[in-house]
Amino acid sequence: MTEENLSQAQPEQPEKPIKPVKPKKDPRAKLYKPETPLILSSSPHFHSPNTVPKIMWNVIFALVPTTIMALYYFHWSGVGLILSSVIAALASEMIVNRIKGESFTVGDGSAAITGLLLALTLPPTFSMGGAALGSVFAIIVGKHVFGGLGYNVFNPALLGRAFLQASFPVPMTTWAWPLTAKYAEVDGITAATPLGLFKFEHVNSALHGLIYGNIGGSLGETSAIAILVGGIYLLIRKYADWRIPVSFLLSVFVVSGIFWLISPDVYPSPVFHLFSGGLMLGAFFMATDMVSSPITSKGSWIFGVGCGFVLVIIRLFGGLPEGVMYSILLMNAFTPLINRYTRPDFFGEVRA
- Which residues form the interface with other proteins (CB under 8 A)? 27-28, 31-32, 34-48, 50-52, 54-55, 108, 147-151, 241, 290-293, 295-297, 300, 339, 343-350
Question: DSSP alpha helices (H): ranges in 237-276?
Answer: 243-262, 270-275
Nearer to other proteins, 155 or 222 (CB): 155
- 3-state percent breakdown (helix, strand, coil) of the chain, nearest 5: 60, 0, 40
Measured distance CA(252)–CA(112) in Å, rounded: 29
Q: What's 271-319 look like in SS3?
A: HHHHHCCCHHHHHHHHCCCCCCCCCCHHHHHHHHHHHHHHHHHHHHHCC
Report DSSP state, residue 349: -
End-to-end CA distance of the chain: 51
How distant, in Å, are the alpha carbons of 204, 207, 281 from that of 269?
Answer: 10, 11, 19
With H, G, I as helix, E, B as strand and everything else as coil, classify residue 79: helix
**Cross-strand bridge partners of residue 176:** 190
Nearer to other proteins, 54 or 98 (CB): 54
Nearer to other proteins, 35 or 201 (CB): 35
Nearer to other proteins, 20 or 44 (CB): 44
| Smallest gap from residue 98 Cβ to other proteins (A) | 19
| Smallest gap from residue 41 Cβ to other proteins (A) | 6
Rg of the chain over all Cα atoms, to the nearest angstrom? 26
How distant, in Å, are the alpha carbons of 25, 35, 37, 150 from that of 31?
Answer: 13, 12, 18, 51
Nearer to other proteins, 98 or 343 (CB): 343
Instruction: Determine the residue type at 71.
Output: L
- Label residue 232 exposed, middle or buried (CB < 10 Å: 0-12, 13-18, 19+): middle
Nearer to other proteins, 50 or 180 (CB): 50
Measured distance CA(58)–CA(113) in Å, rounded: 10
Instruction: Determine the residue type at 2.
Output: T
CB 213 within 8 A of CB 223: yes
| Smallest gap from residue 51 Cβ to other proteins (A) | 5
DSSP element (H, E) containing 191: strand 190-191
Nearer to other proteins, 98 or 238 (CB): 238
| Smallest gap from residue 71 Cβ to other proteins (A) | 29
CB 296 within 8 A of CB 342: yes
Nearer to other proteins, 143 or 315 (CB): 143
| Smallest gap from residue 290 Cβ to other proteins (A) | 4
Nearer to other proteins, 22 or 45 (CB): 45
| Smallest gap from residue 284 Cβ to other proteins (A) | 16
* Residues contacting 34, CB < 8 A, separation 6+: none
| Smallest gap from residue 35 Cβ to other proteins (A) | 6
| Smallest gap from residue 295 Cβ to other proteins (A) | 4
| Smallest gap from residue 197 Cβ to other proteins (A) | 38
